[in-house]
A and B are shown apart, each in its own frame.
Chain A
Amino acid sequence: MRSMGNKLPARILRGILCLAFWIFVWQLLALAVRRALVLPTPLAVAKTLLALLGEGEFYLVCLWSLGRIFAGLLIGLLAGVLLAACCAASRLADALVSPVISVIKATPIASVIILMLYVIGKSAVPMVATLLMVIPIVFMNVRRGIGAVPESMREVAAVYGFGRGRRMRYLILPSVLPYFAAACRSALGLAWKAGIAAEVICTPALSIGNALHDAKIYLESEALYAWTIVVVLLSVLIEKGVVLLLSHLSEKGGVSVAEA
């Protein structure tokens, strides 16, 4: 306990020092460039960020962006898992679905976003773009997890006549969960980036992407940097939250998510 208590402030201190170092580098670069339009100073960006934090609409914009991207993420996770389960259970489903997943994986997200702008409303595009980024990652990882169930343990299940529920509890879940956790971690970062990119292209009302787009149009570099910092901070916070949630769930299920 004592060593844990000593380690935590040391870690925080190290983090603060690293951050201070990079802000210092940024300040030096800004002074060297001397063009606020290209690289504003950290202080100017901090002032803009503080001003944003004081506006009620800022929180509304963040919430709407989070909502769209999380909806896409959750639907993508669910669809990826379901498709992987169907493909593991049926060769026909595998033959039908796997090539589609490969096509989705290979298609540039910008093409998807522009194509979808014609088909669906611009406010739904970020959500769909996000889920299309997430599905292949989850699908492939869950397939790998199902395939990783040892044959020796499948034999135990066969001998003792395990039904679907017991196979799921004792074979599939322990094998899939580490792969699913790894997929969540990868998908989260990509989903967030794809969602924001889609928002920048589609500019739906009340979105971070729209705010970034406006900052670019009106040459407000400070705002552009401030919103980018918001995107990065939200991404880090969400990732930490999801990793904590998965660790908690895996502890309950007796499986380490760090195994994959």
Chain B
Amino acid sequence: MLKLEHIEKSFGEKRVLSDVSLWVPDGTAASLSGMSGSGKTTLLRIAAGLARPDAGSVRADGRTAVVFAEPRLFDGVSVLENVTCVMSGTKKENEKRAEALLDALELAGTARLRPRELSTGMAARVSLARALAYEADLYLLDEPFKSLDETLKRRVMAYLSSCFQGKTVLFITHEASEQAFLSARRFHLSDGVLSELS
């Protein structure tokens, strides 16, 4: 479960979030849309515990995985190790599972590559694979499909739908078509004020 209550956040004089309350019950998904600079990423960072609100409370149950807007992979290690680095099993088990995740996200054959050898879309999917490998209870995704073409996006969304069964998910998107992903409740941020779309 993710529960944000009466969140306030300002950067200097600029108020970014104003009395924002958002509740995503266990096993459900919510999408968050809004113009650039409307405070979506700030809200996601607050939910992830990476930024402190000026006021209000955050409750996030269980393990949280975050997919950032940029892939944020470790350059010095292979794609495979970028996925296994968040896992806690034995090396062999982790590698097997990581390879399965990479295959499912259509990244077969990239395990031994370095992140710098990947395209933007591939790196974004490795970041998704890393989040899935963490086996979290709550997933916070910042525009996870933005660098994927339509066909690939649909296939990845279909795969993620099966992975996110029973998980709590909050994702940021600009695309109306993506808002229907996971039959999510839709929220919109405008001038720091959150509203639910029907």
Contacts and interface: CB of A to CB of B under 8 A. Distances in A.
Contact of A156 (B72, B75, B76): B72
B65 interface: yes
Contacts of B86: 160
B65 A153 contact: no
Given A152-B68, A174-B75, A254 B114 contact: yes
A160 B65 contact: yes
A159 B48 contact: yes
A173 B77 CA distance: 12
B66 interface: yes
Contact of B74 (A153, A155, A158, A159): A153
Choose among A155, A160, A173 the residue with the greatest number of B CB atoms under 10 Å from its CB.
Answer: A160
A161 B87 CA distance: 10
A59 interface: no
A249 to B, nearest CB: 13
Nearest to A166: B85
B65 A159 contact: yes
B70 interface: yes
B181 interface: no
A152 B72 contact: yes
A46 to B, nearest CB: 48
Contact of A254 (B49, B50, B76): B76
A254 B112 CA distance: 12
Given A160-B86, A166-B85, A174 B68 contact: no
A158 B134 CA distance: 13
Interface residues of B, number: 20
B180 to A, nearest CB: 27
B64 interface: yes
A57 to B, nearest CB: 47
B74 A174 contact: yes
A235 to B, nearest CB: 31
Given A152-B72, A159-B66, A170 B77 contact: yes
Nearest to A254: B76
Given A254-B114, A255-B76, A159 B50 contact: yes
A256 to B, nearest CB: 9
B50 to A, nearest CB: 5
A170 B74 contact: yes
A241 interface: no
Contacts of A15: none
A147 interface: no
Given A158-B50, A159-B48, A153 B77 contact: no
Contacts of A155: 50, 68, 72
Interface string B30-64: 00000000000000000011100000000000011
Interface string B109-128: 00000100000000000000
Interface in A28-85: none
Interface in A153-186: 153, 155-156, 158-162, 166, 169-170, 173-174
B77 A254 contact: yes
Contacts of B76: 170, 173-174, 253-255
B55 to A, nearest CB: 22
A229 to B, nearest CB: 41
Nearest to A151: B50
A253 B114 CA distance: 12
Interface in A89-114: none
A162 B87 CA distance: 10
Given A159-B65, A254-B77, A152 B70 contact: yes
Given A152-B70, A156-B68, A159-B65, 5 more contacts: A152-B72, A155-B50, A170-B85, A174-B76, A254-B76
16 contacts: A152-B68, A152-B70, A153-B72, A153-B74, A156-B68, A156-B74, A159-B66, A160-B65, A162-B85, A170-B74, A170-B76, A173-B76, A174-B74, A254-B76, A254-B77, A254-B114
Q: Identify the 7 closest CB pairs spanning chains A and B, nearest first.
A: A174-B76, A254-B76, A160-B86, A159-B66, A170-B74, A255-B76, A156-B72
